Each structure stands twice: as C-alpha cells, then as structure tokens.
Amino acid sequence: MNIIQIQEETAIIIQETHPIIQCIISNKPDELKRLLKKHDINGIYPCKELNDEVSPLIAAVAFQKESIFSFLLRKAANPNTRSRNRWAPLHWASIDKVPLFFVQKLLAAKAEPNGAIDNLSEVVLTPVQAAAIYDRDDIAEALIGASAIVTTFPLTCLHYDAYDAKVSKMIHRLASNGVQICSQIKVFVDLDIAIRQKCPEEVFQLFDHVMLLENPQTQITVFDVLLSVAGPNETEYRSKGIKWLKDKNKLNLYIEDAVKHFPNLSKELQPLVVRNLNFLFCTLAEIPNNVSLMLIPKLLELLSTKKFNPNKQGLFVVTLYVIAQKTKLKDDWNWDFIEKLSSIIFDFLCKVKDHSDTAMYAYGIFANLISTEHANNIFTSIGLTSVPEEILTSAEMRMDDNLKEGLRQLQKYLIHQSPASQDNKELLAHKKKKKKKRRKPKLEEQNDELYNAASDLSTTSVQESVGNELQPDMTTFRKEQKWFKVSKRWSEKLEKLSKTEDILKVGSIMFVNDEGFRIAKGSDGTEVFLGLREDGTEVAVKRMSRTNYNVLKNEESFLRLPKLDHPFIVRYIDFAEDEHFGYLALQLCECTLEEFLKHELPEEQKRNLVKEVLSSLSVLHGQTPQIIHRDIKPQNVLLDVCGKARLADFGISRRLPNGQTTLHTGSAGTKCWMARETLDEDVDVPCKMSADIQVAGMLTYYILSGGHHPFGRSFRCECNIYEGTYNLQHVKDVIATDIIEWMINTNPKERPSVEQCLAHPFFWSTSRKIEYLRSIGNEEEVRNYKRTDKCLLDEMDLDVGEAIWKNWKQKFLPGLVQKMDGKGKYSENTAGLLRFIRNLLEHHSADAKRIDLMSTFPDLFGRVYLFAKKKGWNSRDSLDNMFHEEDDITSSLMMNRLNLEDQATGFSVPVQELGGLC
C-alpha cells in the first residue's frame, strides 16, 4: 500500500517525474551527481510514482537504492527534509519491505525519530505508526530505541480505530519479545484506545491499579491522561480522577511527585500538568509551603518563556494566583523570592497591556502578597501604585468573592500604604541599584493605556469607594477633589463639569443644575444629571421634588439592600437632601436599552442581554420577602461601560407581604409595559411576581426583535395586551418564540417563574442541546420507532419539517454512515435521524467530536423540542431533569471560566467583552 493512501485525501496529483528523481529510480548515480551540481541536494522534486514532491534522499529510501542513499548521506543530505505531503525519509523507511539498514543509517545521521515534525499533530502518522501499519516490528523497535514517541492515531485519520489496534498489537508483541520499555508503553496505548471506546466508569476500573504509572517516554502518568481528557466526558473524568486520589489517599503523593518531576517534562507537556495541578489545588483548603516554593519558580520560568501563547500564559498566571491564595504560611517567602515573583508578574502586566481575566488574576497575586513582610517595599521597588479600574470592575462581575475582596484590599493598601520603612530603606535602595531605571516609566506608560478604561463603579461611603473601585486616571479639579474617569460616552461633559464654577454640592454629591448636564427627565418632574461624588466617583444624580419624596426614598431603600448589590442591577452610591429636593446618586451608565438597540447586535449578544435582565429579576424575586419591580421597560434597563444590562428605577417597586404571594395596590407602571391584570384602573389591583414575568416577556421580544413590541405600538397596544393578541413575526427562532409566548401568557397562573425562564432551552449551551437530542433518541417511541404508530411518526416528520430530515444521511461523512448503517437499518425520517444521533454519541464518541451537529441540522433541536413538549414527553422522568439542572455552571474557582482547547494545550483565558456601547 502506498503511504499516501493513509491520508483522508491527497492534495496534489503529480503528472511527471523530475530528471533527478528519475536518475535515482533508474539507478544512474553518475547522471545524478551531474544534475546535483546544478540543483539543491535537499530540494524537493516531482515524483509521479510516489504522487509527491520528494527530496533525493526520500527517493533513494522509497526505491531502496542503497548505494545512492549512502552517497547522499555522505554529501550531507538532510535526513529531516520533508516532502510536500509532509513525509520525512523515516516515514518511507518504515513501510513495506524497506530494509532495516535504511532506518539505522538515517537515525545515525540524526534523523528525527518522530518524523521531523514540530508536534505530533502536524502529520497524519508518525514513522512508528507507519511501521505498525506494515507490521514492521523491527523498525518500530529501532525507532522506539531512538526515543520515538508511541501514540495512537488522530481521530481525523481514516480507519483510525483499525490502525490503533495494529499499534496496540505491535507494542504488545515487542513487550512479549523482551523490549522492556514497551511493557509500560502498552499501558498508555491501551489507555488511549479505552478512552475512545469505553465509558469513564469502565476506564477507571480497567486502569485503577496503574493510575500513577509514568509513561517512560513522556513522564506523564495515567492519572494525568485521564484528568486531561477533552470532550463530552471531560467533567466526569476530572471528578472521578480527583475522587480516586482522595479515596486512595494519593492526593499529596501525586502533587509532590508531579512537582518533583516537573522539570523532566517537555515544554509541550508542562502546561498539561500545570492544568491538572490547578484542578487539584482548587479542591484544597491549603497548599503546603514546600509545594509552593518548588512550583512557583517553575511557573515563573514558563511565564517568562516566549514560546507559550497567551492562553497558556493565562493558565500559568491563574495557577500562581491559586497558589498565592491557598498558601497560608508564607514564612519562608523571603525578599528575593517575593521580589522575583512580583517583578515577573509586573513585567508580564506591562507587556499584556489589557484587561483580560489573566491580568485580573495577576493583580490577584499581588493581593495575596499583602500579608508578607516585604510587600510594602517590594511593591514600591517595582512601581506598583494602583490597580487599573477595569480590573476590579471585571472582578466585581464575578462570583468569586475571594478575588473581589482581595483586589479591594490591594487597592486600599496601594492607595494608603505607608512609605518604605526606615529599617528597610537601605535594603530597598540596594535592590533598586540592581535594576535599570525602567519600572516607573513602564507603569506610567501602562497607566496611559489601561487606566482610561471603562468600568462600573459603586460605593456606599468614601472609604468603601476607595476599597471597592479601582484607581483610574485621576484629575484634580479642586484642591482636595479627585475625578475617577470611567464613562466613555459622558467623558467630555464630565470634563466640562469638573472645570465649571457653577457646581452645586449637596452632602457629598456634586452636580450642575443646567440642561446641558441633564441626561434624563421623567414625566413626574424627576430629572437626572451628570454628577460627581466627593471621592471622585462619577454618578447619575436623580433629583426629585420633596412632593414625590416617598418614591425616591422607596427606591433608595431597595437599592441599599446588600443582596441587591448585583452585577445586573444599577448600584446605589449615595443619598442627600435639601429644602426642596431629594437626591439619589446612582452608578453612571452609558445608555438605556432603548438607545442601545438602535445598533445592530449579533444574536448571541441579544441572548445575553435577555439573560442579564432575567438574572436581575431573579435577584428581586428571590428575596425574602420577595420584591416586585412593577416598572420593567426599555428605559429602565441601562447599559454600563462593559455593555452589561442593569435593571434600574425601583421607585414603585414593592415587597410582597410576609408569607403571601399577592400584593393589593394601585395600578402602576408605564403605558404598554404593564401586565394584563394590572391594567384595571381600580385602586385595589392584585399584583404578583407573574406580572413582572409578563412584562419581562414583552421586553425579551423587544430585545430579540431589535426594538419591536409583541402587542404593537399604537393606541391598540394595551387593548392587545388585555385581549392577548400578539405578533412575534420579527423573531424566527422557534425556541425564542416558545419562551416569549410562555412569559406573555394572558393567564398569570400559566406563566413561568423567573427560575423556569432561566432554565428554558433558549439559554442552553450547545452541549446541553446535544444531550437533549441524545435523550430523545432513547425515548421508547424513537428507540423502537419501527414498532411505533405510523401516525405519530408522520406527525413528528410534519412538525420537524421535511427540509430537516429528508436525505439526512447525505449530511454525514459517507464512511461514518457506512460504518453505522451498513445494512440500512436507519429510516429516512426524523425518528431514524434521532436514533442515529443517539447511537453516534453513545457508541462512536470519537466520530461525534468531528461533527458539528448544531450546524449540520440547525433547526432540529428546536423543532424536536416543540414536538416533545406538545406530546408531553418533556415531563417524563427521563427528560424532566434536563429542565432543572444548571447549564454548564459550577461555583468552583476561576478554572471553570477557562476554556479547554485540547488535551495538551492548556487553557484559553477569555477576554472581558467591551463594546456595543452608545
């Protein structure tokens, strides 16, 4: 068999053979020497016989011309020159009946035993794999003896499962024949195959006795491999792996061995072990100091290496953060140790110059160094003076309370830190002499770029403002006054405000009573002005006449509730009053939702906005007693500088009486944004949380449709709300229309709770949707669809749509269909497609990873979900749990916010989204 046939496809077709290659095939050494005087000995030339462009050395190997082969090596032909199809001489030496002599000579000439590749994913197969295909145990033994890595075949290779079996059999034969290293390698080959073919439970049972066995070629353990499995089962492998370590009391042993052997790992594999250690560190209450002292220098070395991309650098920084946070006793962290850690992290921050999660955790490292003896002097020596504003803003939007509090404390410490102590002045001066004067300018340069960033601020006092918020550019416009620049939209007006002499001060709130600084006006005389607080915080100053004082005080009372300090609720900052007005200072946002939707937004961003609004509502409805907002509308949803939606205006919000689900009150709200049951103008209107849900449903359609109202905009709107007459023509997603129709139901009792809204399939991840399709494929009517009533199957086909299921087999790879459906057992209908998908996911997970089901069948999930809902299937025990589980959300530390790229590449640290602002 030609080696090229192993590929899925051949990119080139060679029509002729170059004279140099022809001389080798014809065994004409003299003619070859003459031609090589004018041509590159390491060049590649067309070869029709091999259907490739090859070097003279490759041709000599492939056509077994021993004398020419030896001549070329004597003339310093490169044994690692690859063909156009990326095959090196060793590949050709490993196939068919090429004598072992060629392999031995190539290895002696320093041929790369893995085929002259930078990483094992560059080619379809390695020389060892080629030897396995052709049952060349002798060649495989020589290659392994020269440190060739034994791996299974990539999933992209045709017939990979059959080839994997050949690799396994060959390694087992070599082990039986006394090749000692293969007795360990065979475990890892079999492990890779088992992961592809068996469920996690079976894999752990099979390899329980060798979990800490090391691969002699890579120094990676069986446990490392299992913990780094990617794909649908990765969470199960991770949890089972950690449980195994704890059950066997091997946790400390693994960590200590991993740290000890870390320097022996290749640079490519070190991130994999770092990631695994991070998983484990996140489960510990405390990390031993000896582990920290051994691992931190290694991580700093990796972070300083230019070889790694930002994703892996993010992994190293996050791991350092976890170590710094969970090492409680830092007594052995002397000046040199902490100074090196701080300097490298600070240099890294100066280089990245962004506000990614990586930078946020880098500052988190400094936060965990505050308690050390030398922190004050070292922070001064490297030039660390403040935390960029947006870093703390990003942290405030996280669920990680430790990180948030740590950064707050760091900011307080940096702003109020005392000068370097007298006792340490000489030491500090000595350390500074060792450095070139570059730290301070670098930070100032960073400040110029970083500190003008946008962020959402909130404070409850001057002191808390300093602690909670970050240190952006500060402009002093009065002797004692600081201005924290945050807003992008309002920056010019705030600049003007800071210089005007007409500024009014009420309590600690300052604003200018001028139309040019007014940003909103209500029908009840309420006005909103741009303003500043004494501590420099930008605010929106809501001014209301004392005749409406109760409304303003009501809003203040709600916003001051600790549990309403939430990423998707506008933040309370301050309150003041004078003889005529009450003043409520709120977080300054960029624009209203109404303004925001005038721009074209991607569907995913619209979906996120809906989720943010519902998340804010869940905070209100989740209080004890519960809070009803009563005035949800586009103007009361504000967008902060990070583009996040925040619910605002709690002036007419009410708490439900203790133990009750209904509040009897007067009709309230805004025209066209009131629930049906609250339209009655009677003084005693029963109001429930379901009223918020119906209006939130209207707002959901408003967002997804780009500004349309489901009940229309004309004078008929309220009449349509009352009659239940709506039009959802501007939203095409059937799952979206399903949740909207549920929320805007005329009958309050038929509407969902906010928790049910957030659990709706509209918000499901792709993996959860695929899992739902797998579960549907297990339902009795689909599992045994050939025995199912034909009328039901026809109804399913009609509801799903012929365009989705017709000729569905043609949408999969022919080889896959042939493998799974060789006898044509799957019908050309919806049930046949669903059963095929179920079996693909259940029994051919490796093949399933190569297929994007959601792109291949974009409307299948939605149509199947609606059919199952109509038939009541979703209420069955087998499916009902899908609607109660949290979707891909855990409360563990930062690692769950990092995206696994593949089994050996570490993590990708997501960047905070900015943009889409007015």
Q: Could you tell me the pLDDT band of residue 367, with boundaries at 50, 70 and 90?
A: very high
Q: What's the rounded Cα separation, in Å, for the pair 334 and 323?
A: 16
Inform me whether the pLDDT recorded for 540 exceeds 90: yes
Q: With the C-alpha atoms ordered 687, 688, 689, 695, is the resulting torsion angle positive or negative?
A: negative
Residue range 605-633, pLDDT digits in tens: 999 999 999 999 998 888 877 888 888 99
Q: What's the rounded Cα separation, in Å, for the pair 539 and 523?
A: 21
Q: What's the rounded Cα separation, in Å, for the pair 178 and 712?
A: 81
**How do the domains of the chain map onto residue ranges?**
1-197, 475-588, 592-762, 767-886
Q: Are 62 and 54 in contact (CB under 8 A)?
A: yes
Q: What's the rounded Cα separation, in Å, for the pair 65 and 70?
A: 9
Q: DSSP secondary structure string, 204-229?
A: HHHHGGGTTPBPTTT--BHHHHHHT-
Q: What's the rounded Cα separation, in Å, for the pair 163 and 190?
A: 13
Q: Could you tell me the pLDDT band of residue 431, with boundaries at 50, 70 and 90?
A: very low
pLDDT of residue 562: 67
Inform me whether the pLDDT recorded for 34 exceeds 90: yes
Q: Are 84 and 12 in contact (CB under 8 A)?
A: yes
Q: Are 618 and 758 in contact (CB under 8 A)?
A: yes
Task: Return the amino acid letter for 375.
Answer: A
Assign 873 to helix, strand or coil. helix
Q: Which of 5-9, 26-30, 472-476, 729-733 has the lowest mean pLDDT?
A: 472-476
Phi-psi region of 147 (alpha: psi -120 to 50; beta: other; left: phi over 0): left
Q: Are 239 and 233 in contact (CB under 8 A)?
A: no
Inform me whether the pLDDT recorded for 448 exceeds 80: no
Assign 564 to helix, strand or coil. helix
Reference 909, options 395, 401, 453, 356; nearest CA is 356
pLDDT of residue 523: 66
Report the pLDDT averaged over residues 873-890.
71
pLDDT of residue 680: 66
Residue range 407-427, pLDDT digits in tens: 888 988 887 655 544 444 444
Give the CATH superfamily of 475-588: Phosphorylase Kinase; domain 1 (3.30.200.20)
The hierarchical CATH code for the domain 592-762 is 1.10.510.10
Q: What's the rounded Cα separation, in Å, for the pair 620 and 558?
A: 10
Q: Are 250 and 212 in contact (CB under 8 A)?
A: yes
The two structure tokens encoding residue 550: 């109760």
Q: Are 73 and 89 in contact (CB under 8 A)?
A: no
Whether omega before 310 lies within 30 degrees of 0, making that bond cis, reads no
Write out 475-526 in H/E/C secondary structure.
CCCCCCCCCECCCCCCHHHHHHHHHCCCCEEECCEEECCCHHHEEEECCCCC
Q: Are 51 and 13 in contact (CB under 8 A)?
A: yes
Reference 701, options 741, 745, 756; nearest CA is 741
Report the pLDDT averaged over residues 547-562.
73
Whether this model's pTM surpasses 0.75: no
Task: Return the amino acid letter for 485.
Answer: K
pLDDT higher at 85 or 55: 55
Report the pLDDT averaged over residues 366-382.
87
Between CA 412 and CA 421, with CA 417 as vertex, the angle to 5 degrees is: 160
pLDDT higher at 623 or 493: 493
pLDDT of residue 355: 55
Q: Are 47 and 54 in contact (CB under 8 A)?
A: yes
Residues above pLDDT 90, as percent of the chain? 51
Inform me whether the pLDDT recorded for 467 exceeds 50: no
Q: Which residue has the tokens 């009391």?
A: 249
Residue range 113-169, pLDDT digits in tens: 988 654 444 456 899 999 999 999 999 999 999 999 999 988 777 788 888 999 999
Assign 542 to helix, strand or coil. strand
The number of beta carbons lying within 10 Å of the beta carbon of residue 16 is 10
pLDDT of residue 899: 32
pLDDT of residue 148: 92
Give the CATH superfamily of 767-886: KEN domain (1.20.1440.180)
Return mean pLDDT, the chain. 82
pLDDT of residue 418: 52
Task: Return the amino acid letter for 553.
Answer: K
Residue range 185-237, pLDDT digits in tens: 999 999 999 999 999 999 999 999 999 999 999 999 999 999 999 888 888 99
Report the pLDDT averaged over residues 874-892.
66
* Architecture in CATH for domain 1-197: Alpha Horseshoe (1.25)
Inform me whether the pLDDT recorded for 301 exceeds 70: yes
Q: Are 9 and 38 in contact (CB under 8 A)?
A: no
pLDDT of residue 36: 93
Assign 877 to helix, strand or coil. helix
Inform me whether the pLDDT recorded for 525 exceeds 50: yes
Q: Which of 55-69, 655-669, 856-870 has the lowest mean pLDDT?
A: 655-669
Q: What's the rounded Cα separation, in Å, for the pair 739 and 693?
A: 11
Q: Are 92 and 2 in contact (CB under 8 A)?
A: no
pLDDT higher at 303 or 471: 303
Q: What's the rounded Cα separation, in Å, for the pair 633 and 696?
A: 8
Q: What's the rounded Cα separation, in Å, for the pair 717 and 116?
A: 71
The two structure tokens encoding residue 220: 């990676």
pLDDT of residue 881: 81
CA 14 and chain centroid, separation? 44
Enumerate the H helices of 16-159 as residue ranges. Answer: 19-25, 29-36, 56-62, 66-74, 89-93, 100-108, 127-133, 137-145
pLDDT of residue 894: 34
The two structure tokens encoding residue 541: 């100053």
Residue 807, burial from CB neighbour count under 10 angstroms (0-12, 13-18, 19+): exposed
pLDDT of residue 880: 86
Instruction: Calculate the dihedral angle through the C-alpha atoms of 397, 401, 404, 408, rounding to the nearest 10 degrees.
Output: 140
Q: What's the rounded Cα separation, in Å, for the pair 597 and 634?
A: 9
Reference 64, options 36, 110, 95; nearest CA is 95
Task: Return all residues near 590 (Cβ < 8 A) that are at least 6 apart.
Answer: 487, 488, 489, 490, 638, 639, 640, 641, 917, 918
Instruction: Calculate the dihedral angle through the C-alpha atoms of 374, 379, 381, 382, rounding to the nearest 10 degrees.
Output: 130
